[in-house]
Amino acid sequence: EVQLLESGGDLVQVGGSLRLSCAASGFTFSDLDMSWARQAPGKGLEWVSTVGRSGVGTNYADSVQGRFTISRDNSKNMVYLQMSGLRAEDTAVYYCATQRWLDVWGKGTTVTVSS
Amino acid sequence: DVVLTQSPLSLPVTLGQPASISCRSSQSLVHSDGHTYFNWFQQRPGQSPRRLIFRVSNRDSGVPDRFSGSGSGTDFTLKISRVEGEDVGIYYCMQGTHWPLTFGQGTKVEIK
């Protein structure tokens, strides 16, 4: 069974940094692209970023381009989202998901950015 | 960016009756490889999103056959043949053809 477990969410001040992690299991991790998506309180879903199988190819939403960095460690079955220059509007539940097609989602980790 | 417009945004339904949600794209979702990367997701209250339908009309594993997807190009539809109580939640369309990936605004399905 495919499982994704996010961690690293926290309360952080505007302008601060945070690294989210996602531990994957139940599939051959290096075979799949991996993505992050988010959902602000009471709002809809927003795709954030996707990383290719080897970690070389990455894509970002305009709203996070230049501030967030996605990466992966295929030896550990982990995907990361390094977030810097955090803004109040980055407050959200952040989900890890398999592939660009968002096949399977984790339960999410909460990031709160406060001034 | 591709804009996905869902309608209606709120859908009160009677148990056992059909329901339909529309999603219209601002541009064609046919990829250069010939596939149309258009998905539907369900988010029940308090839960993570779950993909129901991929590439327009393919049901994910474990999804009841009362859910069906159809459409092509820029116009897509999710149908529930007979709504059950567990179908309450918010439904999102999403396109994976063009970067950045985008979602529709969501349609809230509730029981009358």
A23 to chain B, minimum CA–CA distance in Å? 16
According to the model, what pLDDT value does residue A115 have?
Answer: 85
What's the rounded mean pLDDT across residues B30-45?
Answer: 97
Q: Which residue has the tokens 């990466």?
A: A71
Q: How far apart are CA B40 and CA B86, in angstroms?
A: 16
| Contacts (Cβ under 8 Å, ≥6 apart) of B83 | B13, B14, B15, B16, B17, B18, B19, B109, B111
The pair of structure tokens assigned to A75 is 């030896």
Residue A92 CB-density burial (10 A; 0-12 exposed, 13-18 middle, 19+ buried): buried
B 2-31 residues with CB < 8 A to A: none
According to the model, what pLDDT value does residue B102 have?
Answer: 98
CB environment B3-34: b (16+ within 10 A), e (fewer): ebebeeeebebeeeeebbbbbbbeeebeeeee
**Is 90 exceeded by the pLDDT of residue A14?**
yes
Residues A17-40: tens digit of each pLDDT: 999 999 999 999 999 999 999 999
Q: How far apart are CA A84 and CA A68, in angstroms?
A: 6
According to the model, what pLDDT value does residue B25 have?
Answer: 98
**CA-CA-CA-CA dihedral for A104, A18, A57, B106, to nearest 10:** 40
The pair of structure tokens assigned to B57 is 């009309």
Query: Does B99 contact A at CB distance below 8 Å?
Result: yes
What's the rounded mean pLDDT across residues B2-26?
Answer: 98
CB environment A27-49: b (16+ within 10 A), e (fewer): bebeebbbbbbbbeeeeebbbbb
Residues A61-100: tens digit of each pLDDT: 999 999 999 999 999 999 999 999 999 999 999 999 999 9
Phi, psi of A42 (to 5 degrees): 70, 10
Nearest to A94, CA basis, from A54, A60, A49: A49
Helix or strand or coil: residue B60? Answer: coil
CB < 8 Å to A105, chain B: 48-51
| Contacts (Cβ under 8 Å, ≥6 apart) of B3 | B25, B26, B102
Q: Which of B43, B96, B99 sits opposite A101 (nearest CB)?
A: B96
